[in-house]
Every structure is written in structure tokens, then in C-alpha cells.
Amino acid sequence: MKLKILFFFSLLLGLGSVSAAPNAEEILAASDAIRNPGRPFSVTVTLTEFQAGKQVDTSTLTSYSRTQQQGGQFASLIRFVLPARDAGKLMLKNGNELWFYDPTNKASVRLSPQQRLLGQASNGDVVTVNFSKDYKATLVGDEEIQDGERRTRKAHKLALVAEAPDVTYASIEMWVDTENNRPLKARFFAESSRLLKTAYYRRFQSQLGAERPTETVIIDGLNPQSVTIMRFSDYKARVIPDTWMQRDFLPRFQPD
């Protein structure tokens, strides 16, 4: 009888020591928290387009982002800085709506998040987004991949399917580092399941309390010679008024 009791408790201890399988939604949320600060912030975004290794275009933006009170998704105001011809133009994402404002004609027009902004970077790529708020995640498995620094990393592979309307991509495959939940790689698909682009997150640096990717390399799904690099710099925690995230306020916006 004593042997049976000892065996029973040994079995319980053994079961208790088995770690629970990782949860796909938790992995995705942890990855979001690494890509995006959890407080209102601004960041400079520099887009550089390359064709066959040659730079062909560039643009600089300032992004102001804060989480919405309902839902936890980000609202973002994008101010165009360079080139000079675009300076002062604005783009606003609040909820599922994306607006473009041109101070020259004082008109605001509705935009599609899928529309390209520069090179392989779409409008939806430059606004701050928590994928866990718009997509349902499933854990496909773990595998080794080459990250953006050409290092071999073990990663959770997640399959993301859009749940919210008007999102930029119908589905996403994402690889998240098993060691620290860093986003490493993502593949973005259209509704037809056509591969639109592949992105690598790299050059992690300490920014606003976490090691965040300061570069995203975006490669065209059909032409690997078409590459756009998004660089993120000058992160700042700041107060962002609710009024900045309202379409009616766009003509009165003045950066401080």
C-alpha cells in the first residue's frame, strides 16, 4: 500500500512539473508589447525603398500613438516631414478608419490601409498596431529560422486570421522567438492567399523600457529585389491629447 501511495504522489509531481503548452494569444500579445510601447509615445519613422540594391526613394514621418480606451488598439496620427513636398500632410487612424489630410487644399479623404505609401510599405504598416486585437492566433508549432541578422533562432510559428474589418492583411504567418517573445519574421497574405510581403524585425535596442526592433525589412512577395526598410528612432513618451485623434481636429493640428 505504501508503495502505491508513493507511486501516486510521484505521478502527481511528475504531471505538475510538465509545463503547459504555450498559448498562441499570449505569445502574440507579448510580441505586440515588444514592438509597441504600452504608453502614449512618438517615434520618427524613416522609409527607404531599394530596387536591386539601389536606393530609389525615401520618406520621413513622425508617428504619435496612444491606445484607445475601448478595445486596447492603437490610434495613430502620422505627420509627414520629408520630402519637403509632403511636409505637413497628415494621416490619421482611429478605430477602423484611416484618413489623409492635405493642408494645401484643407481636405481630408478616406484611405485604404492596403494602399502603398512608399515601396513595399503600406499605409497600414506605418500606423502602430497590436496584432492581438485584430487577429485570431493559432500556434502552428516551433521551428528554427534565420532571423533578420542571419542568425538561427528557435521560434513559435503563429497563424493569424483577421477578425476585425478593414485590417491591412487577411492573414499573417508570424515567427516569435521562443526565448524572449521577440518578433522575428512575418509573412503577410491577401484574401486570395497570395503572399504580399515578408518582413524581418531586427536591430533590437532599448527604447522606452524594452528591447524593441528599430528596423523592419520588407521584401516584396513576388520580386525579392524590391525591398523597403523602415527605421524607427527618437522614441519619446509623451502626452497625446484625445483631440489629436479626431478627424475634425486635423486642420488645427500643430506639432510642438
Query: What is the pLDDT at residue 56?
Result: 97
Residue 227 lies in a domain: yes
Which three three-digit cell numbers place residue 164?
A: 476585425
Query: What is the pLDDT at residue 6?
Result: 41
* C-alpha span between 139 and 133 (Å, rounded): 16
Residue 13 lies in a domain: no
Residue 178 lies in a domain: yes
Instruction: Characterize the bridge pairing of strands 152-162 and 183-189.
Output: unpaired
Residue 141 lies in a domain: yes
Tell me how many domains the chain contains: 1
Query: What is the pLDDT at residue 130?
Result: 94
Residue 176 lies in a domain: yes
DSSP letters for 180-197? T--EEEEEEE-TT--EEE
Q: Is there a contact between 57 and 75 (Cβ–Cβ < 8 Å)?
A: no
Amino acid at 175: W
Query: What is the pLDDT at residue 142?
Result: 97
Residue 120 lies in a domain: yes
Query: What is the pLDDT at residue 183?
Result: 98
Q: Is there a contact between 255 and 238 (Cβ–Cβ < 8 Å)?
A: no
* C-alpha span between 156 and 143 (Å, rounded): 7
SS3 at position 3: helix
Dihedral (CA of 35, 37, 40, 42) sign: negative
Amino acid at 129: V
Residue 15 lies in a domain: no
Q: Which domain holds residue 91?
A: 24-252
pLDDT along the chain (256 residues), means of 10: 44 46 92 96 98 97 91 91 96 91 92 92 94 96 95 97 90 97 97 97 96 98 97 96 94 88
Residue 28 lies in a domain: yes
**pTM for the whole thing?**
0.89
Query: What is the pLDDT at residue 13?
Result: 45
What residues are paired with 149 via a beta bridge?
none
115 φ/ψ angles, rounded to the nearest 5 degrees: -65, 135
Query: What is the pLDDT at residue 164?
Result: 81
| CATH number of the domain that residue 165 is part of | 2.50.20.10
